[in-house]
Structure 1
Amino acid sequence: MLVAPLSPRPSRATWLLLASLYCAQGLPSGLVAHALPALLRQQGVDLALIGLLKLLALPWLLKALWAPWVDRWRHPRLGHARGWILPLQGSVVLCLALLALLDGPRLLSEQFSLLLGLLLLINLAAATQDIATDGLTVRLLSERWRGLGNSVQVGGYKIGMLLSGSGLLLLVGQMGWNLALASLALLLAALTLPVWHWQERPNPAPEQAASGPALLCQHYRGLLRQPGMGAWLALLMSFKLGDSLASPMIKPMLVDLGWGLGALGQLTLLSSLCGILGALAGGWLYARLGAWRALLLGGVLQALTLASLASLTQGAADSLVYSLALLEQAADGLSSVVLFAAMMRQCRSAHEGADFTLQASLQLLLAGLVGATSGLLAKAIGYPGLFLTAGLLGLLALLLLYPARLRLSANTPARASVDAAPHHSTPVR
């Protein structure tokens, strides 16, 4: 494995490219995770139905099924990463533009199925684009720079969520649904410019003897046979369960406590900024503490902040709501960065996109199912019981850290091959 001093420092153009790509991915996610739950609850939509919005993330769970082909196929003119990113991001822009042309109140009520269909298409395009983007990130950044790289990833993603979450709530209140969604589509189109102007160096596709379904098995068999991979995957699938259970119900709870859209937008804005600071702290901690200790610290902070939300009841002071919301987002940003950086350590050279995608899909497997039940659980045991349960799940997941310690600490062949791999693509300086 190449030691850190031999790893070239990524250029500012590289950081700009990655930040724009992950910010673009955060835009549709913020719409679904932050803006829609509040808008739907304001329209009187049932909590159980709001919780089922988590099922729109199904393409993010299933994308591992087509990820090997994303690693293999290159556009003859646009190149590998650009050949996927440009048309897919353009498709999301078109879907947002179509939403901007439709009537908002009707979409949130009698045309709810049409809204779900368009959001599913957006998630399908964004999830497939994510395969190419994650593979590009692993190739561009050596191990030395992946902590900072994942800070840029999570920070950019959270900025995108901030703009389409709190920003959209504020704009809907002032400009209406149509102009607010049109602004979101224009912003996403502007974020396409860095990858449009980026010049990608050609790199060969990985050697594969199989095709069709056999390619899928062949592609992942090598990764899953790595020593200690079972313990790592168990931790990976459990680490964010508490967050997945709690996060869909935070905005509906605040709406039920009397918070309006404007106040929610301001709260989401400030808490998202804290999430970005938490992401930067996560990159620093990963570099200082290593994967195992950083995951332990991030997991503890995540569990405690989720459980603390149970103290919010009718009449809770605004200062308490702000304090807990800011801490929860900071812990989420920190824990996400260290988790993603640890996932990058497991990727093999020339298989970066699919290897990272498989881990991300498995991480979403239980998280998506648990998140889809959040509304039902909130109705059954109330918001305080839901958040206490989420905190307990977060602490229980940390019991899997010790069995996975060997995988996180070992200098494995898969990790070495990634660190030693040449950078096939470079942005224009």
Structure 2
Amino acid sequence: MELLRNAVRPYAWGSRTTIPELQGREVPSPHPEAELWMGAHPGDPSLVIGADGVERSLLELIEADPEGQLGRDCAQRWENRLPFLLKILAVEEPLSMQAHPSAGQAREGYAREEAAGITRDAPNRNYPDPTAKPELVCALTEFHALAGFRDPHRTVELLRAVETPGLAKYTELLAAQPDSDGMRALFTTWITLPQATLDELLPEVLDACVLHVKDHGEFDTECRTILELGEAHPRDAGVLAALLLNRLILGAGEAIYLPAGNLHLYLHGTAVEILANSDNILRCGLTPKHVDVPELLRVVDFTCCDMPVLRGEAGDCGDVYTTDAPEFELVRCEWGAGDRGELRTHGGRPQILLCTAGAVSVRADDGRSVELARGQSMWLPASNPPVTLRPVGEGRAQLFRATSGSVHRR
């Protein structure tokens, strides 16, 4: 039951205000700050601040006592690894378009690349580890994303609304087979177009999107997104692929779950993200990094539907975002101004608590008590006794609780 000091990742797409403001540091920061990592990722593990002020790597603590830190079931299932990573995302500019593999795909791909002698830090490495990477993102502010393939009939309507001479044959390709197979065919065609063909088609599409926005067309938001991506990546097939995905705007507290194969792209906003502790990414485009098209096509799920938005289901200790991911579970605890209610968590699983508004008192059954201020986080090992959470002060308070998933999930 100790506070954490966490790593900030300074990716170029990050914000210079969001994370430093959350932590009470000087704003703006000298450079973009994109992610705040809380967990035991080997690349940037959190530091646990002991009662004596000494800081120790959470990764090292787990390696020294996996059952005490993780619990027997979690340690056995995940081979003495903390299976999840908790993050704050501060998205100022769009990320790359990407998908993640299933557990089986990750194991097979990792073994294949190991046998081929590709070093784990090589730029063309797809599978630096043998694990899946499902993730869930929960908005703290209005959060914009593209995720999952839109219903093909609706996509045909969009394509016809911005149709150009060069685009027409592709629109009819999907119109003739408006299902997941048709979507696969169109997506595959677009991301394998010769650059010369792409250089002719993309300007046509962008010009059509400009006209659609000027005319206040039905797909104004989608067209504005394509224009934003096209300006940043003027020769990239990922701009066309973005036409096929659901355009989402999440309100605070709303979340989306991204299982294996879900093609997605975060556009703008601040969110809490929980994901499996893995680095396996298959990129589609909108990035200078490695894009392996054949491997991407093996991983992407072309199922077409509206993307479900999760709002949390009432549980014993806050609103639970239920998924089928065995690696993690995320709970949001909320207190309105003047609310003095207590919430109680159970022990037995590793937990990270993150305060995102106000302040929260964390009191263990053995009498220990720690106050979490906004921007602070805490590690609760599985051996920690149950704790009681209550707001401090009269204002609004919010806390996220990240744990490993139930041992019964598959």
Q: Which has the higher contact order (CA 8 A, sep 6+)?
A: 1
- Which structure: greater strand fraction? 2
TM bracket, shorter-chain basis: under 0.3
Q: Which has the larger radius of gyration?
A: 2
From the two aligned structures, give the one with the greater helix fraction.
Answer: 1
